[in-house]
Amino acid sequence: MALKDAAVSVKDVAALAGVSVGTVSNVLNRPERVSPETRDRVSAAISELGFVRNESARHLRAGSSRTVGLVVLDVANPFFTDVARGVEDTASAAGLAVILCNTDEKTAKENSYLDLLEEQRVRGILITPADEISDRLTDLRRRGTPVVLLDRKATGRDQCSVSVDDRKGGDLAVTHLLDSRHRRIAFVGGPTSIAQVADRLRGAKVAIKRAGLPDDALTVQIMEGLNVASGRLAIQQLLALPKRKIPTAVFCANDLLALGALQELSHQGVRVPYDMAIVGYDDIDFASAAMVPLSSVRQPRHQIGRTAAELLIEEADDTGGHKHRQVVFEPELIVRESSTRTRRA
Amino acid sequence: MALKDAAVSVKDVAALAGVSVGTVSNVLNRPERVSPETRDRVSAAISELGFVRNESARHLRAGSSRTVGLVVLDVANPFFTDVARGVEDTASAAGLAVILCNTDEKTAKENSYLDLLEEQRVRGILITPADEISDRLTDLRRRGTPVVLLDRKATGRDQCSVSVDDRKGGDLAVTHLLDSRHRRIAFVGGPTSIAQVADRLRGAKVAIKRAGLPDDALTVQIMEGLNVASGRLAIQQLLALPKRKIPTAVFCANDLLALGALQELSHQGVRVPYDMAIVGYDDIDFASAAMVPLSSVRQPRHQIGRTAAELLIEEADDTGGHKHRQVVFEPELIVRESSTRTRRA
DNA sequence: CGGGTCAGATGAATCGTTTCATTCAGCGGT
DNA sequence: ACCGCTGAATGAAACGATTCATCTGACCCG
């Protein structure tokens, strides 16, 4: 049995098995080239010493590592954990580990993680940028680290991305509310510097315009963050408007906001959906599990992650034939109780 | 500017700056030993070539890496994402990256991640074991990788752990329900092979016994998983019991179960807390944001993560004086609407 | 002017693994 | 008995950064 201070290397294994280090390496990597007896002897030595390969040394020689980086805005958002699972499934099937990094929407944190990942020589990086596509990211790619954008469409054709048509999603949500006779609608979102928020708002405006309504039929409420607390606050502010300006429906840029809104409305005795309808975005699991099941725009979260990881692996393993692709999924509106006035007075 | 195929190394930098590789390394690691002019020349060369250190090479030489592994049961559970943030805060302050691994409560996945982490020669591992403490984990420690148990108390004194007194938590929850006059209580949990579930159940039983009630005052409902779907199912099963056996309160082993229970009760027209009270566990953010705000046993999630990471770093940097510690936090009962019958008929 | 000091720079050795050109032994064919 | 072949094993080189013993030259002092 190996002792605590062992630090066993191929050399030790080779010595114990009475072979050369090259042979040990062959047993590990191309066992068919080694005679059965030798192979057994080496295997025995490996388990006796408790030998564990040193990935850094392999990697140093090989030039490429077995990890990919996944950089997201917020791991606490169920949307991203689901995407992460998709990434992990694909990556681990390919024998790759995932380093999950959390930026909290801060460019500074994003940059320091990118440095770290590049120093680790990760095979590639999946990222939902906190802001504009930074120079840091461009440099990274130029130096040879593949980057796939996640939940954000690449602007050019020279880069892979996997996203969902957020404009269409915003359009779907608001069109649904308009179809349900709502004429005063609020959009509740986070900072528009986040591309997803900006696009969903844009889609909402398109729907309003198509219906021939004036611009002010849509009240735009921009909050600090995309979380539950901001959702509650947004409702407080909306309910404080002059009575005839209070919307009859709100479309929230994500489900965390929508859940906060739902809670605050209930708290204030406003009935959902009878007095006010709500549509969220992402269709996280908690949306259908909410007390008033939440209508929401569904995104194929898991598939976004899987596809992005596939593109990344394809680009990383590129033998020359890689074509950059911009995959765009279609959002789907899931109508639940929070926006259907079946028993309307 | 660096070209795509650059793969710049210290050698290239040294050549461009007209110095030796040793000097480049000194500029990087002990700039005070290098004369200002040389330092500037080297720095210029570094940025001109876009040189990025190769962490694997550093690590190979240094013998220790700059990453730690965090192995949890389920990243999609907000409890763990909050713990993960705590870990990340401490780790990144120490210049360490976190590799987050998800076992889905499966021993097989756990083992394959442990292999991977050991091959990466991580500085240490934080883990919530899916089952018993496996031999794999013991071997790992014997070979020199520090391991700190997370949300699970170490059985011996030879290992660090950070946990919460789950027995006490179960006791608190059930005692609270007993104080509210409930005499038929259900415990809804996941498999008891998960230590947390077993301990919370044990605490619940202690409370029942202390109150002098018979064992069958507690209906034990063991479900497959610790998620929302299982919570709904559990309620369906409980409501199918003979009327006089149906409990008036349920204590759920975590908040995901409790949220599922809440939803199903509402769906079946059972009023919470008037017809049935609920207490959850973890006090995740969604608990207070639920339509009927959920009573729950709070754990210092963020602090669990921080403390565990601190212990791990201390053990990893050990210069001989490390004492293994088993930190146990106290749980706190947060009473909200789901278990208070103020307007009881 | 010789000797000592010291900051600064050097470059070979090292970490653990993989790779590949080379060696070796055994064997069949002539 | 010798040649050529093949399967098996070998061992040195290489990956890139760090370290440390060593070297260089400038400067000061007696």
**pLDDT, tens digit (0-9, with 9 covering 90-100), for A124-164:** 999 999 888 788 999 999 999 999 999 999 988 999 999 99
Q: Rounded to a whole number, what is the distance in Å from the CA of B316 to chain A's nearest CA?
A: 13
- For chain B, positions 54-83, list CB contacts with chain A under 8 A: 54-57, 59-60, 63, 65-67, 75-76, 78, 81-82
Mutate one of A143, A145, A159, A322 to test the B interface: name it (highest B CB count within 10 A).
A143
- pTM for this one? 0.90
Written as six digits, the tokens of A339 are: 């926006």
pLDDT band, very low/low/confident/very high, at A4 (cuts 50, 70, 90):
very low
Show the CA angle centred on residue A95, arms to residues A94 and A98, nearest 5°: 95
Q: How many CB atoms lie within 10 A of CB B249?
A: 25
Q: Fill in the DSSP letter of residue B106.
A: -
pLDDT value of position A199:
96
Task: Tell me the chain A residues in contact with residue B97 when contact means C-beta distances shorter than 8 Å.
Answer: 99, 101, 113, 116, 120
Q: What are A102's strand-pairing partners?
A: A72
Per-residue three-class SS string for A74-115:
CCCCHHHHHHHHHHHHHHHHCCCEEEEEECCCCHHHHHHHHH
Name the CA dihedral angle for B237, B242, B244, B247, rounded to a multiple of 10 degrees: -10
Token pair 């710049």 is found at B8
d(Cα A337, Cα A335) in Å, to the nearest integer? 7
The sign of the CA dihedral B34, B35, B38, B42 is: positive
Task: Tell me the chain B residues in contact with residue A60 when contact means C-beta distances shorter than 8 Å.
Answer: 54, 56-57, 60
- Do A56 and B60 count as a contact with CB atoms less than 8 A apart? yes
Show the CA angle centred on residue B114, arms to residues A54 and B63, nearest 5°: 30
pLDDT, mean of residues A190-199: 92
Q: How far is the CA of B23 from the C1' of C10 (A)?
A: 8
Of A82-86, A285-289, B238-242, least confident by mean pLDDT is A285-289
Q: What are A332's strand-pairing partners?
A: A298
Ordered mean pLDDT values, 10 residues apiece, chain B (345 residues): 62 95 96 94 95 94 91 92 94 91 90 94 95 87 94 92 98 97 96 94 98 96 92 96 95 96 91 95 88 93 97 87 93 96 52
Residue count (chain A): 345
- For chain B, positions 308-337, list CB contacts with chain A under 8 A: none
Is the CB of residue B275 less than 8 Å from the CB of residue B247? no
Q: Fill in the DSSP letter of residue B143.
A: T
Task: Tell me the chain A residues in contact with residue B75 when contact means C-beta distances shorter than 8 Å.
Answer: 75, 81, 84-85
Written as six digits, the tokens of B260 are: 């599922």
Among A127, A100, A109, A74, CA closest to A284? A74
Q: Fill in the DSSP letter of residue A64.
A: -
Does B12 contact A at CB distance below 8 Å? no
pLDDT, mean of residues A282-290: 87
Of A33-47, A236-250, B316-330, least confident by mean pLDDT is B316-330
Mutate one of A286, A292, A302 to test the B interface: name it (highest B CB count within 10 A).
A286
d(Cα A282, Cα A256) in Å, to the nearest integer? 9
Task: Tell me the chain B residues in contact with residue A66 when contact means C-beta distances shorter than 8 Å.
Answer: 116
d(Cα A29, Cα A78) in Å, to the nearest integer? 40
- For chain B, positions 114-173, list CB contacts with chain A under 8 A: 115-116, 118-121, 139, 142-144
d(Cα B169, Cα B175) in Å, to the nearest integer? 10
pLDDT band, very low/low/confident/very high, at A33 (cuts 50, 70, 90):
very high
